[in-house]
């Protein structure tokens, strides 16, 4: 049986055997996404296990936000910005609010500016902890690190919920400010969470290293 | 960063024959933009990118705009002789602006940390496949976004390395972001086995008009 197979020589590239050298195999990968939304396809040309060419194919879940925007008011587009990336709804709100404010020449009060920055930084914590969790999950540390990261993320999302009424679809920014002011005791809770964050980072580092 | 007027003057000096135009922005943002002519667009874009004072090396966004034909009514006071007496009469004049398609580029400089400079290109008319020079060879990041404009507005970018539809499927024929686009009634009707099964099933039960009006209609 083995006599028919060509000898596999030392390959200059990892994962590529000499008998596959020069032969391109076209593979259509996908459309696929681990959680099936925003599916994405790649047309790849493989030489052994080495990707020689790659053409991304997308549009399987294109919402055409511009078209939606044509049929709704400026403010009506605000909740859609939450859904562009639900790990960063606050910053997406902000980016949209900034562009409309620039367009219409609206000034934002100082307190609202501070609130926006605090919320954007909290969003960054949410986003980066999730990133670490998912990254480790994809690298094979299945489950546990993600749950640790999500535990921490959920603390910040509780803050968002107490402020905007929603964990992820906050719809909080408005043109020229923010929707509501902070509820009583919010800032104290936020401070506690931020103070406790370095502890989580140490714990997380110990968990994964 | 230097003003857009200086930018225009220097670009026109560097590239002979280039006809640049400053498009003013009357809104509160007040951000003027630079309109390039087709023949020299590539050279001017290269200049904006390579010039040591500008170094606009990053194209952050490219978008399309559809401008329909429009007539603007203006009231003008005209002096006219009425019954031998010169009088000032208000007249309504109509000015016609033919429609065109536009590609708008927002470019920044990573090196000098300035921007954005807004660069515009306009087609001659709104015809299908109206040409514009592609700026993808200058700013690589424009590749997919020019494809998107081609897909949704029908601007043909000449010199683009791979101009195909990007969001709509290849067989699609219209341009959905144009203002006069009308959605088809049915995108892709195909008979499926489901229809055949349904037809067969209908033969097996008697119509029940009292309970179900729809079935009665189908059985006729």
Q: Does A38 touch chain B (CB under 8 A)?
A: no
pLDDT value of residue B207: 63
Condensed to tens digits (0 to 9), the pLDDT of residues A78-133 reads 999 998 888 999 999 999 999 999 999 999 999 999 999 999 999 999 999 999 99
- Residue given tokens 């507005």 in the structure block: B153
Locate the domains of chain B by residue range.
Answer: 4-216
Tell me what percent of the residues of chain B surpass a pLDDT of 90: 53
Which of A62-66, A163-167, B147-151 is predicted with the least confidence, judged by mean pLDDT?
Answer: A62-66
Q: Does A61 touch chain B (CB under 8 A)?
A: no
pLDDT value of residue A65: 86
Evaluated on CA atoms A157, A159, A164, A166, the torsion sign reads positive
In this structure, what token pair is assigned to residue B127? 């015809």
| Orientation angle between helical segments A110-138 and A144-164, nearest 10 degrees | 160
Q: Does A23 touch chain B (CB under 8 A)?
A: no
Whole-angstrom Cα distance, residue A26 to residue A106?
Answer: 53
The CATH number given to B4-216 is 3.30.460.80
> What contacts A157, CB < 8 A, 6 or more positions away?
A126, A167, A168
Condensed to tens digits (0 to 9), the pLDDT of residues A49-65 reads 888 889 888 888 788 88
pLDDT value of residue A1: 42
Q: Does A102 touch chain B (CB under 8 A)?
A: yes
- Is the pLDDT at A11 greater than 50? The verdict is no
Q: Does A139 touch chain B (CB under 8 A)?
A: no
Query: pLDDT tier at B115 (50, 70, 90 boundaries)?
Result: confident
pLDDT value of residue A30: 80
Condensed to tens digits (0 to 9), the pLDDT of residues B161-212 reads 999 999 888 878 889 899 888 887 776 665 566 777 777 777 776 666 555 5
Whole-angstrom Cα distance, residue B183 to residue B139?
Answer: 33
Condensed to tens digits (0 to 9), the pLDDT of residues A82-93 reads 988 889 999 999
DSSP states along B104-169: EEEEEETTTTEEEEEEEEE-SS--TTEEEE--TTT-TTHHHHHHHHHHHH-EEEET-TT---SSS-
Q: Torsion-angle region of residue A171: left (phi > 0), alpha (psi -120 to 50) or beta? A: left
In this structure, what token pair is assigned to residue B61? 């966004």
Query: pLDDT tier at A4 (50, 70, 90 boundaries)?
Result: low
The CA angle B212-B215-B218, to the nearest 5 degrees, is 155
pLDDT value of residue A164: 93
CB contact under 8 A, A103 and B28: yes
CB contact under 8 A, A66 and B176: no
Q: Please, which residues 66-95 of chain A have a Cβ atom closer than 8 Å to chain B?
A: 66-67
Condensed to tens digits (0 to 9), the pLDDT of residues B55-94 reads 999 999 999 999 999 888 888 888 878 777 888 888 888 8
Tell me what percent of the residues of chain A surpass a pLDDT of 70: 87
> What contacts A153, CB < 8 A, 6 or more positions away?
A125, A126, A129, A130, A133
Tell me what percent of the residues of chain B surpass a pLDDT of 70: 89
């Amino acid at each position: 049986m083995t006599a028919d197979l060509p000898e596999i020589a030392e390959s200059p590239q990892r994962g590529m055997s000499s008998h596959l050298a020069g032969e391109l195999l076209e593979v259509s990968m996908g459309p696929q996404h681990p959680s099936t939304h925003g599916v994405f396809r790649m047309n790849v040309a493989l030489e052994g296990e080495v990707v020689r060419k790659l053409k991304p194919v997308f549009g399987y879940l294109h919402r055409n936000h511009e078209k939606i925007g044509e049929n709704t008011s400026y403010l009506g587009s605000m909740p859609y910005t939450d859904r562009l990336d639900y790990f960063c709804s606050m910053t997406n709100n902000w980016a949209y609010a900034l562009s409309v404010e620039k367009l219409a020449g609206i000034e934002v009060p100082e307190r609202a500016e501070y609130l926006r920055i605090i919320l954007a930084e909290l969003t960054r914590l949410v986003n980066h902890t999730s990133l670490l969790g998912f990254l480790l999950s994809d690298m094979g540390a299945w489950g546990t690190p993600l749950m640790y990261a999500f535990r921490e993320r959920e603390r910040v999302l509780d803050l968002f919920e107490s402020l905007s009424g929603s964990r992820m679809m906050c719809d909080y920014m408005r043109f020229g400010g923010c929707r509501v002011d902070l509820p009583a005791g919010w800032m104290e809770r936020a401070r506690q969470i931020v103070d406790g964050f370095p502890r989580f980072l140490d714990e997380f580092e110990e968990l994964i290293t | 960063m230097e003003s857009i007027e200086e930018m225009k003057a220097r670009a026109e000096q560097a590239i002979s024959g280039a006809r640049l135009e400053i498009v003013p922005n009357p809104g509160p943002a007040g951000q003027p933009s630079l309109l390039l002519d087709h023949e020299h667009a590539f050279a001017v874009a290269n200049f904006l990118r390579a010039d040591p004072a500008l170094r606009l090396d990053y194209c952050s966004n490219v978008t399309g705009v559809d401008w329909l034909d429009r007539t603007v009514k203006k009231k003008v006071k005209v002096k006219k002789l009425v019954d031998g007496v010169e009088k000032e009469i208000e007249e309504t004049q109509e000015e016609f602006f033919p429609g065109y398609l536009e590609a708008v580029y927002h470019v920044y400089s990573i090196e000098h940390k300035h921007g954005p400079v807004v660069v515009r290109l306009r087609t001659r008319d709104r015809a299908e496949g109206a040409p514009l020079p592609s700026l993808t060879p200058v700013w690589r990041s424009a590749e997919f976004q020019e494809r998107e404009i081609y897909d949704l507005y029908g601007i043909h970018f000449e010199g683009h390395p791979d101009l195909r539809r990007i969001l709509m499927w290849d067989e699609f024929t219209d341009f959905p972001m144009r203002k006069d686009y009308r959605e088809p009634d049915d995108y892709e009707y195909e008979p499926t086995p489901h229809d055949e099964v349904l037809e067969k099933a209908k033969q097996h039960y008697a119509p029940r008009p009292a309970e179900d009006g729809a079935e009665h209609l189908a059985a006729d």
